Amino acid sequence: MHFLRFSVRQALQGLWRNSVMTFAATFTMILMLILLAALVIVISGVEAGLEFVESRVEVTAELHDGLLEDRIAELQTRVEGLDEVASVTYTSKDEALAVFVAAREAEGQDISVFTGVNNPLKAYLTVELSNPRESEAVTEMLRAETGLVSYVPDQQTGIDRLVELTAQLRNLGFVVLSFVAVTVLLIVVNSIRMALMARAQEIEIMRLVGASDRYVRWPFILEGVFIGLAGAIITLVLLLIASPPISDLASDIAGSVPLGFNESLTLQIMGIVLGAGVGLGSLGAWISVRTYLR
Amino acid sequence: MSDAVFRAVAGPPPGAPRPNQAPAPATPGSVPPGAPLPGQPLPPRERADSVRLKGVSKTYGNGKEALIDIDLVIPEGDFIFLVGPSGAGKSTLIKLLVRDEKASAGRVEVAGHDLGHMKKREVPLLRRRIGIVFQDFRLLPRKTVHENVAFALEVTGTPKRRMQPAVERALALVGLTEQARQRPDQLSGGEQQRTAIARAMVHDPRLIIADEPTGNLDPLISWEIIQLLLRINEMGTTVMMATHDAEVVTALRRRVVALEDGRVVRDEVGGYHREY
């Protein structure tokens, strides 16, 4: 308790006396943490969008005309048995026409032209996937059923591109972030080094009168922790202020895609920002103490 | 020396609390008194010699031989002068005693502990048993006299309730009770050095090492400091004083250890210079 009080007091005093460097370290820390938070938000936004799109992915398999009901039922059961598949629904030729006509009617077209014509549409199976990224396997499997299935349209390409884009965005983000993190680390290291130099005389006297190492070192480690903590808290306050307009903007752009700050994303960002700030601050201080305090 | 100076340095004002120390048992073999160390206790001491060097040499990394085959025993309660020209090895010897440096060869014992085999985390505990005073005082300019002395207790984890009486006792010992709230820059050189001595004494050390304590002070003030160290010695603390001050050494006729080129060239009771 005595030790903790001593260390905290020394650390705060050190930060105060070295205020220019403290400001520089905290400020760059904030910049980095905002960048980090932005990256997390954008990636989670893109992923939410991706998930939304993927959840709409179904594989449809058009069937040959004139198949027996029980052969279709048998195929349906077999497809349903696959791990990747959530459900399979059968739409007959008549139902397919009804759906088609209803859609045209909804578009305001004259549907009288469709009455009495020979139904050109095929019956089809609609396969809902439990894991949308497995659509290719299911497509392949259905295409192999040449006796029953006439045509399976491709649906994957757009999604693949989105997935790839997300991955690239993530990589680019982490590269930029690493550079910024290294800069922040160096600034913290330097800031603590200045604090060590400012207290050189005090450190010497402490050693002379028999202070144990933790009394000498911990105040400086705590200075790093406090820089990280201050940076993280200020960043979170700024995000709190900025989050409603960002949410609005996001929903404007993305429309029906469910973007925005839900509770788990908020907690995740708080954890990441606090962890990164305090982690980087204490790491920098530790490096400095290890390097400059013999 | 005038009476006025003598009175000024004769000790705390009447009625001031005496330091909690027994008189010096100078007889070898007796266990000296002393509070147990804060924190982890060191293993029990074996003998009452305060300092014991046997065949000690120190060669620095650059090949410079600072000390060569030193044998030196300082019994508890002794007062010795360490003299010799600059570069003779006085500072190196002091560094060995506080385990700032390790001997290259030989055995260094302080208060019964073999410093060559001392664990790193035990070094602070050793230093709490040794008070060190320097020529340049080494006070913290932003702190008051009281805070400077209390700092030594604060950074060694002393509980607050024990700090206040210990600091007051140390300040009374050096006669600075009145100046407790002043900062070093408001004090005279002699008062600054007395503050440093109070800081060195606040742990009730068994050994005081003073490295040229009067080097920055004029002769009258130097006598003040010497008298104070003598008084501390009379109360049982071993004192080792490195100095260039021939007048002081010669006048006091105490044990003098002279170093030259890293060797002990003289070890006898007497004056600053060899007496034929």
What are the chain B neighbours of A208 within 8 Å (beta carbons)?
98, 127, 132, 138
- Residue B143, min C-alpha distance to chain A (Å): 11
* pLDDT attached to residue A271: 93
The predicted-structure confidence for B26-53, as pLDDT tens digits, reads as follows: 444 444 444 444 445 555 544 468 899 9
Quick one: A116 and A261 in the same domain? no
| A36 and A182, same domain (yes or no) | yes
Is the Cβ of A233 closer than 8 Å to some Cβ of chain B? Answer: no
Residue numbers in A near B155 (CB within 8 A): 6, 206, 209, 211, 215-216
Distance separating alpha carbons of residues A159 and A157, to the nearest angstrom? 5
What is the CATH topology of the domain spanning B48-129+207-217+239-276?
Rossmann fold (3.40.50)
Q: Does A6 contact chain B (CB < 8 Å)? A: yes
Per-residue pLDDT at A279: 96
pLDDT at B41: 52
- Does residue B93 sit in helix, strand or coil? helix
Edge to edge, what strands does the sheet with A85-91 contain?
A85-91, A124-129, A58-63, A149-151
Residue B150 pLDDT greater than 80, yes or no? yes
Q: For residue B243, give the 3-state DSSP assignment.
A: coil
Give the pLDDT of residue A249: 75
Taking only the tens place, the pLDDT of each residue in A92-127 is 888 888 888 888 888 877 777 777 777 888 888 888
Same domain assignment for residues A178 and A279? yes
The answer to whether the CB atoms of B156 and A205 lie below 8 A apart is no
Torsion, CA B114, CA B119, CA B122, CA B123, rounded to 10 = 70
Q: For the segment A1-22, what is each residue's pLDDT rounded down to a tens digit?
A: 788 889 999 999 989 988 898 9
- The range of the structural domain enclosing residue A34 comes to 2-53+159-292
Same domain flag for A97 and A214: no
Q: Pick from A106, A137, A154: which residue ends a domain?
A: A154
Q: Are residues A178 and A262 in the same domain?
A: yes
Question: Does the distance separating the beta carbons of A213 and B124 come in below 8 Å?
Answer: yes
pLDDT for residue B143: 95
Q: How far is CA A238 from CA B84, B190, B232, in A?
A: 66, 56, 61
pLDDT at B132: 95
**pLDDT score at B5:** 37
Residue B87 contacts A where some CB pair is shorter than 8 Å:
no
Q: For residue B255, what pLDDT is reported? A: 94
Query: Higher model confidence: residue B233 or residue A127?
Result: B233
Is the domain of A251 the same as that of A222? yes
CB–CB contact B155 A201 (8 Å): no
Residues above pLDDT 90, as percent of chain B: 69
A192 and A283 assigned to the same domain? yes
> Do A166 and A32 fall into the same domain?
yes
Provide the pLDDT for residue B52. Answer: 93
A207 CB within 8 Å of a chain B CB:
yes
| Mean pLDDT score, B173-183 | 95
Mean pLDDT of B191-198: 96
Are A210 and B140 a contacting pair at CB < 8 A? no
- A286 contacts A224 by C-beta, under 8 angstroms: yes
Task: Mark whether A72 and A188 lie in a shared domain.
Answer: no
Chain A environment of B98 (Cβ under 8 Å)? 208
Residue type at position B86: S
Q: Where are the domains of chain B?
A: 48-129+207-217+239-276, 140-205
Q: Is B121 on the interface with A (CB under 8 A)?
A: yes
Closest residue on chain A to B151 (Cα): A206
Residues A212, B140: C-beta atoms closer than 8 Å: no
Inspect the interface and report whether the beta carbons of A209 and B128 lie closer than 8 Å: yes
User: Which residues, other chains included, contact A65 with Cβ-Cβ below 8 Å and sequence gap of 6+?
Assistant: A93, A122, A123
Beta-carbon pairs below 8 A across chains A and B = 54
pLDDT by residue for chain A (294 residues), tens digit each? 788 889 999 999 989 988 898 999 999 999 999 999 888 888 887 777 777 776 677 788 888 888 888 888 888 888 888 888 888 888 888 888 888 888 888 887 777 777 777 788 888 888 888 776 677 788 888 888 888 888 887 765 666 777 788 788 888 988 988 998 999 999 999 999 999 999 999 999 999 999 999 999 999 999 999 999 999 999 999 988 887 787 777 677 665 555 555 677 888 889 999 999 999 999 999 999 999 887
Last residue of a domain, one of A127, A154, A181: A154
* pLDDT at B1 (0 to 100): 40
Cross-chain residue pair A208–B132, CB shorter than 8 Å: yes
Please provide the average confidence, as pLDDT, over all residues in chain B. 84
Q: Which residues of A touch B156 (CB under 8 A)?
A: 209-212, 215
Co-location of A26 and A111 in the same domain: no
Same domain, A214 and A264: yes
Chain A nearest-CA distance from B273, in A, is: 32
Q: State yes or no: pLDDT of B94 exceeds 50.
A: yes
Q: Measured between beta carbons, which residues in chain A are less than 8 angstroms from residue B95?
A: none
Total of domains in chain A: 2
- CATH number of the domain where residue A122 is located: 3.30.70.3040
Q: Looking at residue A146, what is its pLDDT?
A: 80
- Residue A47 has what pLDDT? 78
Instruction: Using a CB–CB cutoff of 8 Å, tell me whether A206 touches chain B.
Output: yes
Q: Is the dihedral of CA B230, B235, B236, B237 positive or negative?
A: negative
- Higher-pLDDT residue of B13 and B95 is B95
Verify that A101 and A225 share a domain, yes or no.
Answer: no
The last residue of a domain, from among A124, A154, A184: A154
**A294 CB near a chain B CB, below 8 Å?**
no
A3 to B157: CB separation less than 8 angstroms, yes or no: yes
